[in-house]
Amino acid sequence: MKLTISKRELNEAVQHVSKAISGKTTLQILTGIKLDVTSDQVTLTASDIDTTIQAFIPITAANGKEMVTVEEPGCVVLPAKFLVEIIKKLPKETVEIEVGEGFNTRIKSGRTDIELAGMDPQEYPAAPAVDDELTFRIAGSKLKELIRSTVFAVSTNEQSPILTGVLWNLDGARLKLLATDRHRLASTVAVIDAPEDMSFHNIVIAAKTLNELVKIISDQESVEISIGRNQVLFNVGAVHFYSRLLDGNYPDTTKIIPTNFKSELDVGTKAFGDALDRAYLLAREEKTNIVRLQAGEDGAVEITSASSGVGKVLEQLEAEKFTGDPLRISFNSKYMLDALKVIDSEQLHIGFTGTMSPIIIRPGDGKESLYLILPYRTSN
Amino acid sequence: MKLTISKRELNEAVQHVSKAISGKTTLQILTGIKLDVTSDQVTLTASDIDTTIQAFIPITAANGKEMVTVEEPGCVVLPAKFLVEIIKKLPKETVEIEVGEGFNTRIKSGRTDIELAGMDPQEYPAAPAVDDELTFRIAGSKLKELIRSTVFAVSTNEQSPILTGVLWNLDGARLKLLATDRHRLASTVAVIDAPEDMSFHNIVIAAKTLNELVKIISDQESVEISIGRNQVLFNVGAVHFYSRLLDGNYPDTTKIIPTNFKSELDVGTKAFGDALDRAYLLAREEKTNIVRLQAGEDGAVEITSASSGVGKVLEQLEAEKFTGDPLRISFNSKYMLDALKVIDSEQLHIGFTGTMSPIIIRPGDGKESLYLILPYRTSN
């Protein structure tokens, strides 16, 4: 294997695929990035088994610019940790890479001459296969918004692995994402450009994957998503992002979402969020982050928090509208603040069904997002 | 105690003094910020005993703006952790503070009403006294430059407490700062506006203090420094920054700095630093960060590093000038890179006296800074 390649393109590809590398892998070969050079293109691959990222560099760019000169096709696996740092620091615009005896690799740029112990590409696991797949496209900005609106609510508890992912469902061109950690839930819907009769259910994608994915999607790009039996493939420009689907059945959450409320509260998102944020500063001194919310027919809203030995906070604001029974309920203020952070709407609509039933938060702008928080049972 | 105060001024003062608070204090009273209200001014104090910071808010600003309305003078100590977060998040431009029974304190702003358990100011340690002091002024930008150029070289080993500080000496209006951790040394000199006959020696100020101090100095400000028997006071605008001087005798370093060299190398700072940075990427895989430097009469400079099982880096560059014996020396590349980071000069002058004698780095712009690195003895 011998080639000359644009430093800029190589660096971009290395940075993209390196996001799949896990610091915790026990397989030596997975600490490396695989370079595959053919007469058509250069392919870089990195993987932690669950997630695999591939980046492609064409020999000639769309604008006719030569990006790669291949003298001899071939394949090698190079240490990712070092590659990620060194490529961007090379002195010249082009890089020469040559693989010799025993995968010993020479990287040259200007007067920098590096020798790296390469690894045998035969040992590298095969790229994942996506079979029986359903394929649709979505705008990058819309996909990022869907992920951002839900992923914060996943469980971090590895005891319930299925809840560490986000649930995807497609029905009648409506793509719905949902996440829950049993204490709170976030869900959102986007209408996408897919055939009416295309559908899938119970597809669960790891939050870790989605968090890495949003980093490489630009708002302008459109993303092609292929959902197979065990794998999902996100096709983002010249990057292929594979992720193993999480095994298991996602719990049915439809029954826990109340549709009738005893009290309903409309408030300005900023006023409510700012007041809650101040109450949280004391609430967080107690590990439960508890605040108490009170509201009555006159529309006066009170938020209180207390930490023994430190003090208490009382916040007052006016509801834009309040209907139903007078309210007195306690909840984890951190969960509410997390939901408020991803709501862009200026108004909130909050529904209550009792001190032990879920609180439902919806943005006032008509978006189909829904946030649920379980109240906290307190003695008073 | 009862007053109304500008949120902006109070917040700024709280943020400044809070830098003295230590998360590790075992004294409950030192987790607080002391507020002292007289008819002239409001004084905030925070301390970890070694460092004490005071900020002053006048009743009326220099531009005539009323910043404080005092209804009743008094004193209280309030929990710093909470104060630092809450003051900046208050909803209105003014804050009302009232201390009641048992130092219970009420903080009001708009419709936010906070009660805090205050502490007894009688328990708060007295502000440090600076006696027999010498006082001089220095421009903020110059002081920051002096600190930045030396403080990185202090020891982090608490076994030699005196080396965790920076040594200050003043003689003939020349202020000299020096730091060493026994493996490397940094020193720099500034000519200041002080009487020719003013002098002090063996003044050692904790690096921790200096690192906090630079955060509150603006380039435009002039800083008044008073050096007393046990304390130094930095007077920065409306902030007083006290620090206990470190006890002990700083080792005499004059003898270890060679003045005659066997070889001397002039190189461009950027070219040398970039090459070293790349070599460091492999060198750091071995804990010693070792690189080898070779140079000969023809001015060809080679920097090499190697990590067993990973690979090696060879960097070549041209000296601007090389005189003396051919050179072959090993050193800790991280130490050299640390020194290069604070050298603004485009050229470096490096002197060598042998493989076991200190390497001396000086900026090429005539500044009186000096950096010393002990070479590393290698088997080949």
What is the SS3 assignment for B232-251? EEEEECCEEEEEECCCCCCC
CATH: 3.40.50.300, 3.40.830.10, 2.120.10.30, 3.10.150.10. Which one for A136-244?
Answer: 3.10.150.10
Report whether pLDDT(B45) > 80: yes
Residues of A in contact with B315 (CB under 8 A): 111-113
In this predicted structure, what is the pLDDT of residue A259? 87
Q: What is the least distance, in Å, from the CA of A292 to any CA of chain B?
A: 15
Chosen from B31, B77, B82, B107 to mutate, greatest number of chain A CBs within 10 A: B82
Judge contact between B132 and B174, C-beta under 8 A.
Answer: no
Q: Using a CB–CB cutoff of 8 Å, tell me whether B319 touches chain A.
A: no
Question: Residue type for A246, please?
Answer: L
B263-301, pLDDT tens digit by residue? 999 999 999 999 999 999 999 988 889 999 999 989 999
| A314/B113 touch (CB, cutoff 8 Å), yes or no | yes
CATH: 3.40.50.1000, 3.40.50.261, 3.40.1180.10, 3.10.150.10. Which one for B134-244?
Answer: 3.10.150.10
B125-176, pLDDT tens digit by residue? 998 999 888 999 999 999 999 999 999 999 999 899 999 999 999 999 999 9
Q: Using a CB–CB cutoff of 8 Å, tell me whether B310 touches chain A.
A: yes
Q: Which of A117, A278, A311 sits opposite B309 (nearest CB)?
A: A117
Give the per-residue SS3 of chain A. CEEEEEHHHHHHHHHHHHCCCCCCCCCHHHHEEEEEECCCEEEEEEECCCEEEEEEEECECCCCCECEEEEECEEEEEEHHHHHHHHHHCCCCEEEEEECHHHEEEEEECCEEEEEECECHHHCCCCCCCCCCEEEEEEHHHHHHHHHCCHHHCCCCCCCHHHHEEEEEEECCEEEEEEECCCEEEEEEEECECCCCCCEEEEEEEHHHHHHHHHHCCCCCEEEEEECCCEEEEEECCEEEEEECCCCCCCCCHHHCCCCCCEEEEEEHHHHHHHHHHHHHHHCCCCCCEEEEEECCCCEEEEEEEECCCEEEEEEEECCEEEECCEEEEEEHHHHHHHHHCCCCCEEEEEECCCCCCEEEEECCCCCCEEEECCCCCCC
B234-269, pLDDT tens digit by residue? 999 899 999 999 999 999 999 999 989 999 999 999
In chain A, ranges of CATH 3.70.10.10 domains:
257-373
Q: Using a CB–CB cutoff of 8 Å, tell me whether B82 touches chain A.
A: yes
Q: What is the least distance, in Å, from the CA of A279 to any CA of chain B?
A: 9
Give residues with Cβ within 8 angstroms of B362, minimum separation 6: B348, B349, B350, B351, B369, B370, B371
Q: What is the least distance, in Å, from the CA of A297 to any CA of chain B?
A: 19
CATH: 2.40.10.10, 3.40.50.460, 3.70.10.10, 3.30.70.980. Which one for B258-373?
Answer: 3.70.10.10
Q: Which of A85, A115, A316 sits opposite B111 (nearest CB)?
A: A316
Given pLDDT bands bounded at 50, 70 and 90, which one contains residue B95?
very high
Size of interface A-B (CB pairs under 8 A): 87
Residues of B in contact with A89 (CB under 8 A): 274, 277-278, 281
Judge contact between B357 and B372, C-beta under 8 A.
Answer: no
Q: Using a CB–CB cutoff of 8 Å, tell me whether A314 touches chain B.
A: yes
Residues of B in contact with A312 (CB under 8 A): 114-115
Residues of B in contact with A77 (CB under 8 A): none
Q: Using a CB–CB cutoff of 8 Å, tell me whether B213 touches chain A.
A: no
Q: Which of B112, B281, B311 sits opposite A117 (nearest CB)?
A: B311
Residues of B in contact with A314 (CB under 8 A): 112-114
Q: Using a CB–CB cutoff of 8 Å, tell me whether A85 touches chain B.
A: yes
Chosen from B98, B99, B282, B284 to mutate, greatest number of chain A CBs within 10 A: B282
Percent of chain B exceeding pLDDT 90 equals 89
Q: Using a CB–CB cutoff of 8 Å, tell me whether B317 touches chain A.
A: yes
Judge contact between A260 and A354, C-beta under 8 A.
Answer: no
Identify the closest residue of chain B to A317 by CA–CA distance. Answer: B111
Q: Using a CB–CB cutoff of 8 Å, tell me whether A38 touches chain B.
A: no
Q: Which of A89, A116, A317 sits opposite B310 (nearest CB)?
A: A116
pLDDT tens digits in sequence order for chain A, 380 residues long: 999 999 999 999 999 999 999 988 889 999 999 999 999 999 999 999 999 999 999 999 889 899 999 999 999 999 999 999 999 999 999 999 999 999 999 999 999 999 999 999 999 999 899 988 899 999 999 999 999 999 999 999 989 999 999 999 999 999 999 999 999 999 999 999 999 999 999 999 999 999 999 999 988 899 999 999 999 999 998 999 999 999 999 999 999 999 899 999 999 999 999 999 999 999 998 888 999 999 998 999 999 999 988 999 999 999 999 999 999 999 999 999 999 999 999 999 999 998 889 999 999 988 899 999 999 976 54
In chain B, ranges of CATH 3.70.10.10 domains:
258-373
In chain B, ranges of CATH 3.10.150.10 domains:
2-123, 134-244
| A317/B114 touch (CB, cutoff 8 Å), yes or no | no
In this predicted structure, what is the pLDDT of residue B171? 96
| B274/A86 touch (CB, cutoff 8 Å), yes or no | no
Q: Using a CB–CB cutoff of 8 Å, tell me whether A198 touches chain B.
A: no
In this predicted structure, what is the pLDDT of residue B83? 96
Q: What distance in Å separates the CA atoms of residue A121 and residue A99, rounded to the nearest whole number?
A: 12
| A113/B85 touch (CB, cutoff 8 Å), yes or no | no
Residues of A in contact with B85 (CB under 8 A): 281
In this predicted structure, what is the pLDDT of residue B12? 96
CATH architecture of A257-373: Box (3.70)
Q: What is the least distance, in Å, from the CA of A314 to any CA of chain B?
A: 5
In this predicted structure, what is the pLDDT of residue A379? 56
Partners of residue B108 on adjacent β-strands: B96, B113
In chain A, ranges of CATH 3.10.150.10 domains:
2-123, 136-244
Q: Using a CB–CB cutoff of 8 Å, tell me whether B129 touches chain A.
A: no
Q: Using a CB–CB cutoff of 8 Å, tell me whether A300 touches chain B.
A: no
Of A115, A88, A84, A99, the closest CA to residue A14 belongs to: A84
CATH: 3.10.150.10, 3.40.50.300, 1.20.1250.20, 3.40.50.700. Which one for B2-123?
Answer: 3.10.150.10
Of A14, A11, A20, the closest CA to residue A211 belongs to: A20
Q: Using a CB–CB cutoff of 8 Å, tell me whether A337 touches chain B.
A: no
On average, the pLDDT of chain B sits at 95
In this predicted structure, what is the pLDDT of residue B348? 96
